[in-house]
Structure 1
Amino acid sequence: MAIALRTAPAGRTLRPAPVAYVLDSVLDTFALWRQRTITRRELARLDDRMLHDIGISQIDVEGEISKPFWKA
């Protein structure tokens, strides 16, 4: 597993990021993935009238909901 490094001014060595920073980053990533999953489920439930109202076609929906949760 890679360790996140903070940037240092010229002439200084890089140090591993604090564990709390790495943990926050991991938790933020999981939260983003969960939000994408929820949003795509909600999008899949919209009917054609609702999709038309927001300017999205059924083909657009199918393309979006077929993506894995880790892809934007």
Structure 2
Amino acid sequence: MALALRSATVGRSNRAAPVAHVLDTVLDTFALWRQRILTRRELARLDDRMLHDIGINQLEVDYEVNKPFWKA
């Protein structure tokens, strides 16, 4: 969606460019937050064998999964 908005800004006047930039930034931020939510949800579903395969333990998973979505 952000890509479509970026390409739509090409023909706009210079006055609309800052507004489009702010909108792009907001949309990118929401997309990042959504990705964090989904990634942490998937991480929480991994079993101990899978966690061992990727080199993390349950304590690290608990820490990551319990962080708010706005924190990296």
TM-score when normalising by structure 2: 0.76
TM-score when normalising by structure 1: 0.76
For the pair shown, the structure with the greater C-alpha radius of gyration is 1
Structure 2: runs of 5 or more not aligned:
1-16
Question: Where does 1:28-67 land on structure 2 (aligned, <5 Å)?
Answer: 28-67=28-67
User: Following superposition, which runs of at least 4 residues in structure 1 exceed 2 angstroms of deviation?
Assistant: none
Q: Give the aligned length.
A: 56
Structure ranking higher on relative contact order (CA contacts 8 Å, 6+ apart): 2
Structure 1: runs of 5 or more not aligned:
1-16
What's the CA shift string for 1:14-68, capped at 9, x where partnerless? xxx6100000000000000000000000000000000000000000000000000
